[in-house]
Structure 1
Amino acid sequence: MPGLNIRSAKASDLDRCFEIERVAYAGDEGATKEKILTRINTYPEGFIVIENNKEVIGFINSGATHKVELSDEAFKELIGHDATGKHIVIMSVVIHPDYQGQSYTSLLMKHFIETMTKLQKAEIYLICQTELVKMYEKYGFDYLGKSDSDHGGLSWHEMSLNLLSK
């Protein structure tokens, strides 16, 4: 799509990313500004934004690890993150509500998967709500089951994408 750019996040994206997280997620589901800044500064190669010619319109952020525990709340602050880890844990996939329904998630996900493949990561993990399971299956994610996480007081499902078979 013309006028779009996908790139690693920078500290200057913090306010816009926090705004997107705040308006797109319900209740306590969204990350704090401090967590977002930690994610940008700690693992910029795992924090990818999509922008149009005016502003950042969405992003994916993640951490890398050698051992995956999807219900581990501390990992959302990148405690246990190791950039050399072969497993990626996605924490947010989000498009600002003004731009949803225009295939931006698809562009962002495809770019993210390609980036993680180039970084020679083995697998991508995430947790999502029930209504998003089928969407992630379209990108090749396998359903692992109901998650023990109760992040934001919500019910979650675990999924993974094996990058070694791509």
Structure 2
Amino acid sequence: MEITPVKMLDLPQIMAIEKSGFSEAEAGSEAAYRERIEKLADTFLVARDGAVVLGFIVGPAVGARYIEDEMFVETPTNLPRGGHQLVFTLAVSPLARHQQIGSQLLTALAEKAQADGRTSMALTCLKRLIPFYERNGFINQGVANSEHAGETWYNLEKVWD
């Protein structure tokens, strides 16, 4: 397995993984992912085994500390340096789960964020996923100010030492 920047050719596999891991209301559309590939190419990483996409992580590097719902409507542009690395999506193929791929993707994006001068990495997740992110060094900052998909989301944040 290797972790590389996304390619537009990855889009069909990314969409299959997205649809397998999220409800219809939660999942991003193909148009949204096309825009993310175009605008966030340097913060959109793919775990792959040859041509097979095993999982991916994507999010913008922006001035805001936490994800805001409007960011899902129009993808923000990455800051060249500084700010905060946000994670819109971390998803792993059902066929590749329980192999630490999600943790490896989080680590790879965190390393890139630190190299680019970001001060932290943050994401929102459902309650059942909080333990996974805590094992990966994130701290639960409480209920997020989000109405995305009608769910209760939690802000999780990792600040560099």
TM-score (norm 1): 0.89
Quote how far apart the aligned CAs of 1:124 are.
0.6
Q: Is the 8 A contact 1:20 1:58 kept in 2?
A: yes
Letter aligned with residue 109 of structure 1: L
Q: Which runs of 5+ in 1 are unaligned?
A: none
Residues in 1 aligned to 2:28 and 2:81: alpha-carbon distance in whole angstroms: 24
Q: Secondary structure at the match of 1:29?
A: coil
Q: Secondary structure at the match of 1:28?
A: coil
Matched, 1:106 2:103: yes
Quote how far apart the aligned CAs of 1:67 are.
2.3
Quote how far apart the aligned CAs of 1:125 are.
0.9
Quote how far apart the aligned CAs of 1:160 are.
0.7
Post-superposition CA distance 1:8-59 (Å, at most 9, x none): 1011111111111111111211101111111111111110000113401110
Q: Is the 8 A contact 1:65 1:84 kept in 2?
A: no
Q: Which runs of 5+ in 2 are unaligned?
A: none
Quote how far apart the aligned CAs of 1:82 are.
3.3
Matched, 1:125 2:122: yes
Q: Secondary structure at the match of 1:30?
A: coil
Quote how far apart the aligned CAs of 1:138 are.
1.4
Residues in 1 aligned to 2:20 and 2:122: alpha-carbon distance in whole angstroms: 24
Letter aligned with residue 29 of structure 2: T
- In the other structure, the counterpart of 1:142 is 139
Residues in 2 aligned to 1:99 and 1:69: alpha-carbon distance in whole angstroms: 29
Q: Structure 1 pair 74/85, CA: closer, same or farther in 2 (3 Å)?
A: farther
Matching of residues 86-101 of structure 1 within 5 Å = 86-101=83-98
- In the other structure, the counterpart of 1:11 is 8
TM-score (norm 2): 0.91
Q: Is the 8 A contact 1:65 1:83 kept in 2?
A: no
Q: Structure 1 pair 83/120, CA: closer, same or farther in 2 (3 Å)?
A: same
Which of 38, 42, 58 lines up with 2:39 in the alignment? 42
- In the other structure, the counterpart of 2:71 is 75
Runs of 4 or more above 6 Å deviation: none
Letter aligned with residue 98 of structure 1: L
Quote how far apart the aligned CAs of 1:96 are.
1.0
The count of aligned residue pairs is 160
- In the other structure, the counterpart of 1:115 is 112
